[in-house]
Amino acid sequence: MLDPDVPQLDSAFDVVGLDTTAQLAYRYVLSKGTVRPVDVANDLAHGGEDSLLTLERLRAAGLVSRSRTGDQYTAVDPRTAVRTLADRTASRLDRVRSAIPQLAEVYEQAESAPVPTAKVRVVQGAAPVGAWYTRLQHEVTGEFLQFDRPPYVLAEENPVEPHVLARGVVWRVVYATEALERPGAWTEMRHAMAQGERARIARTVPTKLAIADRRIALVSPTLDPRRPTALVIEDRALVDVLCTAFEAVWDEAVEIPATSDDLDDAAPPRRGPTRDDLVFLALLASGAKDETIARELGIADRTLRRRTSDLLRRLGASSRFQAGVQASRRGWI
C-alpha cells in the first residue's frame, strides 16, 4: 500500500498534466520504486486497462520508465524528472506569451475598423426578460421611456414604478390600444398618471420597449408569448435610433387628459369640451374597441353609443376619424 511518508502531490501539478488519478499513481510508483499495472489496479482500485493507461501517461511525461517486456514501470528520480517536466511546461507557456504581440495587433486592427461591434446581448425567457426590465427601473436616474403593449411577462401591477417616480424620474409611456383591452388597465393607467406618469395612447406601437436615461434599452424583436425574447442594447448609436423612434410615436399618440377626479372641479374647461369629454375623445381617437371603452368608463353600451353620437354632432363629424380631425383643429387634443 501507499507509504504515508511520501509527500502528497497537490493541485499545482495539474498545470503539468497530472490530474488526481495520475498524481495518485505517481505517488504509488515513487513509494514502490518498480510496479506492474496489476499492482496499481489492485492497490489503487483501478481497472487493469485504466492502470496501464495511467502508467503510460506518466511514462509520456518522463516520470517513469518501462521495461523491455512492458510489464514493469520504474520511477525516475523526481529531482530530475519533475524539474524537466516543469521546464518543458514553462517553455510552452513562454511560447504562449510570445504570441501576445501578434494577438494584440489583430485586436488593434479590429478596434480601428470603421464599424465597431455593437454592445447587444440577447435575453430569452420570461424570467430573464422581466429581471432586465426591473433592473432598468432600479438603475434609471433621469428619464424612462416605454412602449407598452401585450404580451406581458410580469405581473400586471408594477410595484417599482411608484418608487422611481418618487425619485423625480420623468416617466413617459405610449400605450398601444390593445393594452386597454385587459380588464382594469384603464384604472391602472390613471393611477400611474396620478403618481406622475405621463401617458399617451397610440393605435399601435412597433414593439415593446424600455429605455433608461437614453443609455440602455430593452427591446423585443419578436412578440411570441411562448418564447419571450429581448435585446439589451448599450450601443449609443442604436439607443439614439430607438429614442428617435419613441419620440416619433409619442408625437403622434393621443394625450390622455386628466379626469375630473384628478383635477380641481373649480377650474372651468377651456374651448368647449368637458374633462370627461376629453377622456372619452382620447379613447375614441386611440381606436379602442367599444366594449373596452364602456368597461373602462363604467358605462353601458347604450350610453356609449349615445355619448358617441352626441360628441360627433357637437364636432360636426360623421365618423370617429373626422371627430379626431375636428377635435385637433379646435385644439381639444
| Average predicted confidence (pLDDT) for the chain | 78
Q: Are residues 231 and 150 in the same domain?
A: yes
In a domain? residue 188: yes
Q: The domain containing residue 178 runs over which residues?
A: 120-255
pLDDT per residue as tens digits for the range 178-227: 887 777 777 788 888 889 999 988 877 888 999 999 999 999 888 888 88
**What is residue 1's predicted lDDT score, i.e. its pLDDT?**
46
10-14, 42-46, 84-88, 305-309: range with lowest mean pLDDT:
10-14
Does 112 reside within a domain? Answer: no
Detail the DSSP E strand segments found in the chain: 34-35, 64-66, 73-75, 120-124, 143-148, 170-176, 198-202, 209-212, 216-219, 229-233, 254-255
- State whether 175 and 243 are in the same domain: yes
Highest mean pLDDT among 74-83, 176-185, 193-202, 311-320: 193-202
Would you say residue 265 lies in a domain?
Answer: no
The pLDDT score that the predictor gives to residue 109 is 66
- Amino acid at the residue 216: I
Domain endpoint, select from 98, 133, 158: 98
**Is position 5 within any domain?**
no
What CATH number is attached to the domain comprising 295? 1.10.10.10
**Domain co-membership, 281 together with 160:** no
- Domain count for the chain: 3
On whether residue 2 sits in a domain, the answer given is no
Looking at the structure, tell me whether residues 234 and 281 fall in a common domain.
no
Strands 216-219 and 229-233: antiparallel
Q: 241 and 196 in one domain?
A: yes
Q: Name the β-bridge partners of 122.
A: 231
Q: Are residues 72 and 135 in the same domain?
A: no
Q: Is the Cα dihedral 70, 74, 80, 82 positive or negative?
A: positive
Residue 133 scores a pLDDT above 50: yes
Asked if residue 269 is part of any domain, the answer here is no
pTM for the structure as a whole: 0.51
Q: What are the Cα distances from residue 259, in Å, to 37, 278, 281? A: 89, 8, 12
Residue 296 has a pLDDT of 73
| 177 vs 236: which has the higher pLDDT | 236
- Whether residues 175 and 280 share a domain: the answer is no
How far is it, in rounded angstroms, from Cα 51 to Cα 97?
35
Over residues 256-281, the mean pLDDT reads: 57
Q: Are residues 238 and 197 part of one domain?
A: yes
Buried b (16+ CB within 10 A) or exposed e, 273-290: bebebbbbbbbbbbbbee
pLDDT at 171: 95
**Judgement on whether residues 125 and 225 belong to the same structural domain of the protein:** yes
Check whether 123 has a pLDDT greater than 70. yes
Q: Which is more confidently placed, 9 or 227? A: 227
Task: Identify whether 203 is part of a domain.
Answer: yes
Q: How confident is the model at residue 12 (pLDDT cuts 50, 70, 90)?
A: low
Do 124 and 248 lie in one domain? The reply is yes
The pLDDT, as a whole number, for residue 173 is: 95
The answer on 238 and 134 residing in a single domain is: yes
Q: Which residue, 98, 128, 162, sits at the end of a domain?
A: 98
Dihedral, CA of residue 182, residue 184, residue 189 and residue 194, to nearest 10:
180
Say whether both 90 and 130 belong to one domain.
Answer: no
Q: How confident is the model at residue 257 (pLDDT cuts 50, 70, 90)?
A: low
CATH of the domain at 137: 3.30.870.10
91 lies in some domain:
yes
pLDDT tens-digit profile of 143-165?
A: 999 999 888 877 767 888 998 99
